[in-house]
Amino acid sequence: MIWFKHDTNAVNDAKVKKLVIRYGAEGYAIYFHCIELIAGDINENNITFCLEHDSEIIADNLKIKGTAEKSGIQIVEEIMQYIVELKLFEERNNLIYCYKLLKRLDLSMTSNVKFRKVITDAKESHDKVMIESCNIISDEIILNNITSNEKEQRKRFTPPSREEIETFTNENQCHINIDTFIDYYNSNGWKIGKNKMSDWKATVRNWHRRDKDSVKGKPAQRVDHQAIENRLKEYER
């Protein structure tokens, strides 16, 4: 999904205000950046509203700098935990979800017939489980409405072959070093942070976003994946 509806007065929401009071602009940036990442991965084959990116990626994307007491990654993890406590996000099995994004989906967002049907079906399911007193989505039932095929894919993740990655990157114009990508995730057991990877395509897209040129006309500042791997090894000691 390329875009989603965003309220211009979101900063006045009571929960968002509490987030900003405690963590300032960093809290606000992390919250909405996560929503952008989740929304960016929504398509006709993925409507799980799951955040596929870990704290390290988010800290790198937003250039969150650490302090003498905490690393940038630890700052992101602390803020993410508070966001969950505020019930702006939900956490299940160490994965972050934002089911409220369903209310932001609109048929005008896509001309894809299959995706339009997925949105319509999801909204019909949402209408059946709406809690009138607070007008929120019942995450229990939405999670149960994720197709059994998607659940099985999450349970039985199979690392992609080089050919699969190459085909995907060519079709989606994702420019990454495929061999570096495979070597990196082979070395850590195909995990995102501490969790088993569930969607390698989302991870490829994120590598592409991190590696592409952020300023037009300037050479891309590539992420040093070897440095990332070395840091991961230090945490494991």
State how beta strands 195-196 and 95-97 pair. Answer: unpaired
For the stretch 118-174, pLDDT in tens is: 656 655 554 443 333 334 344 444 445 554 445 555 556 789 999 999 999 998 888
105-121 pLDDT, tens digit per residue, is 665 566 666 666 665 66
**Model confidence at 206, in pLDDT bands (50, 70, 90)?**
confident
For the entire predicted model, the pTM comes to 0.54
CB atoms within 10 A of CB 137: 20
Output the pLDDT for position 62: 93
* pLDDT at residue number 130: 37
Determine the pLDDT at residue 222: 47
pLDDT value at 16 more than 70: yes
The Cα 99–Cα 49 span in angstroms is: 6
Asked if residues 11 and 17 have their Cβ atoms less than 8 Å apart, the reply is: yes
Cα 38 from Cα 47, distance rounded (Å): 9
Q: Which residues contact 231 (CB under 8 A, 6 or more apart)?
A: none
- 178-193 mean pLDDT: 89
Interatomic CA distance for residues 197 and 97, integer angstroms: 15
In the chain the first and final C-alpha atoms are separated, in Å, by 39
Q: Decide: residue 93, CB within 10 A, 0-12 exposed, 13-18 middle, 19+ buried.
A: exposed
Query: Alpha-carbon distance 139 to 130, whole Å?
Result: 10
Q: Is the confidence at residue 178, as pLDDT, over 50?
A: yes
